[in-house]
Amino acid sequence: MHKLEESVTRQDSIHEDPDDVVIEDEQEIILNWPNIVEYSKTRFTSLTHLHLHAVGDLNPLPSLREMSWNNWNFFFMGFVAWFSASFDFFLTAVSGTYIAQSLDVSTADITWGLSAVLMVRSAGAVIFGLWTDNYSRKWPFITTAAMFCALQIGTGFCKTYQQFMAVRAISGIAMGGTYATAAATSMDDAPLKARSFLSGLFFSAYAFGMIFAAIFWRAFESTKHSWKALFWFSSCFPFILICWRLVFPETRYFTRVLKARELIKQDQIEAGVYVKPTLKTKWGSVKAMLKKDWLLFTYLVILLAGTNYLTHASQDMYPTMLRSQLEWSLDAQTVAIVVVNLGAICGGLIAGTFMEVTGRRLAILICCVIGGCFVYPAYMMHNNSAVLGGGFFLFFAVIGVWGVLPIHLSELSPPDARALVSGLAYQLGNLASSASSTIETRLAKLWPLEWDAEGNPIKYDYAKTIACFTGAVFIYVFITTFIGPEKFHRDLSSPLLKTYIEKVIEIEEGRDPEAKFVTSSGDTSEQASYGKATHEEIELDCYPQEKK
């Protein structure tokens, strides 16, 4: 009888560490009380398995030395893409008051611009997730960058609130597609042991986006066109990405995937079982996958809803709190945003390093405990030391959680639909949390601090709102992570595709000189130009989707 937690096996020939637990491709989950009880018993005991066998295991440098120049090139290409998307998103947060004044609306109306971006990101995740999984890593990446380039220029020309909302909503589709394409580009060819550290480093791009948004807002705030000029300037990042990505081919892993699919097609034709893919058959495959993995997919959405609420609850209204409630100067606001986001960057990197020892779930739980301890000083003690020091460690914990999620989400997702499932779960979680800024704005109105002569509230307790919201979400994420599964160092390729990728490598290395790749047009080619590959490289699959 199958358990809720899939069976595990040792794969010493694949992994250097024979004590690492490797989860095989999932079997069908059978829900009944005996399995539920057995699964529940393992939720605590599974956290006690640490993967530390020497102090040197905490040193990420040996695994990073395995990264080639080409690996780093693709990693930072994806990193900058996610930074660019984050930078665009936070421009609205840091300049929201000025945008509201320019368009003659309230700040609460502008926060709907943030919500609009989050609400439509699921559409981008589906469109670009399917494209990235099935056809290309390169062109979805370029398309999302081109969308951002055009939309960020367009935002600066908005003259009405309706125009602003329309442009921001479309940019949400681009942001929803960016996570899947950027993460896949960054992680496709990364060595196995480097994944944990790179996962933490990758998501720190989100914090860099907020830092740069705050810094550049100070630079453009006093200019003639103010926030409009800032959006125009921000289009340079996606433009650079377009030029950068155009000069490089598909990742080595995805090139092998395409060749492996051609070999599979040839064998199916020879066996007389080949069926030409159509939209109907592809949709049927998606439905079959969701029917098989509905429970896992539901859990991922629930988990990602919590983690997305965590980032938005703690960060989106943070500049408003500093400006409207604490009345800090613009320079002090910028310093605070930079300091707390430096903590976020440290959190992503350190969590990425330590989760190679603690595993994924325990690393998230530790970050939730750390974050919970610093909610009160970060938001409720209004002196400089508490706001900066508490904020540093609070944001450390928040992005520490997110530093774990890209690899955790990738290992949990079905191998044949990794970008789609991980990206869609991430963006549906974003959809669930899309109203977080508006919720906080309206909750703050329940706690007014000052009134005008006519008795109308003019100042609100944003700090109390953020503290209550963030603390509750930390508890939620802790519980959902504790009860959830983990597939530490799981093989990220499906067994069928892995077999054919091994065949592709044999052809590339000349060990099967009679074999040839037959493309869709009937052309043949014998050798690839990427050189030899290790067994670990065979395992690599695309990272999420976002993986939020």
Mean pLDDT for each consecutive 10-residue tract of the chain (548 residues)? 37 36 49 80 83 68 88 95 91 84 82 69 82 88 95 92 87 86 88 81 87 89 88 94 95 89 87 79 75 85 92 85 87 90 91 85 94 94 91 94 86 76 80 80 86 85 92 95 86 76 83 53 41 36 36
| CA dist 467 → 248, 272, 315, 341, 371 (Å) | 45, 63, 11, 17, 11
Tell me the pairing of strands 524-525 and 517-518. antiparallel
- DSSP H helices, 272-326, are 279-292, 294-315, 318-320
Tell me the pairing of strands 457-460 and 448-451. antiparallel
Which pLDDT score is estimated for 55? 61
| Helices 384-412/195-220 angle, 10° precision | 130
**Domain formed by 70-252+279-483, architecture:** Up-down Bundle (1.20)
Cα dihedral 507, 512, 513, 514 sign: negative
Which pLDDT score is estimated for 249? 93
Which pLDDT score is estimated for 29? 62
417 near 133, Cβ under 8 Å?
Answer: yes
User: Token pair of 354, please?
Assistant: 């330590």
188 near 74, Cβ under 8 Å?
Answer: yes
Cα separation, 361 vs 407, whole angstroms: 11
User: Token pair of 447, please?
Assistant: 């706690």
User: Token pair of 405, please?
Assistant: 């999620």
Judged by phi (left if over 0) then psi (alpha if -120 to 50, else beta), residue 510 lies in left
Which pLDDT score is estimated for 21? 40
409 near 544, Cβ under 8 Å?
Answer: yes
Which pLDDT score is estimated for 528? 38
Cα separation, 95 vs 335, whole angstroms: 16
State the amino acid at position 511 in one-letter form.
Answer: R
Nearest by Cα to 186 from 337, 105, 102, 78: 78
Residue that is written with structure tokens 């409207």 in the block? 324
| 48: Cβ contacts below 8 Å, ≥ 6 apart | none
| CA dist 91 → 22, 202, 230, 394 (Å) | 42, 20, 8, 22
| CB atoms closer than 10 angstroms to residue 61 | 9
Cα separation, 154 vs 117, whole angstroms: 15
Which pLDDT score is estimated for 101? 87
Nearest by Cα to 433 from 548, 305, 318: 305
Nearest by Cα to 465 from 426, 437, 430: 437
| 351: Cβ contacts below 8 Å, ≥ 6 apart | 200, 363, 367, 399, 400, 401, 403, 404
Secondary structure of residue 525 in the 3-state scheme: strand
Cα separation, 207 vs 338, whole angstroms: 9
Which pLDDT score is estimated for 148? 94
Paired with 525 in beta bridges are 517
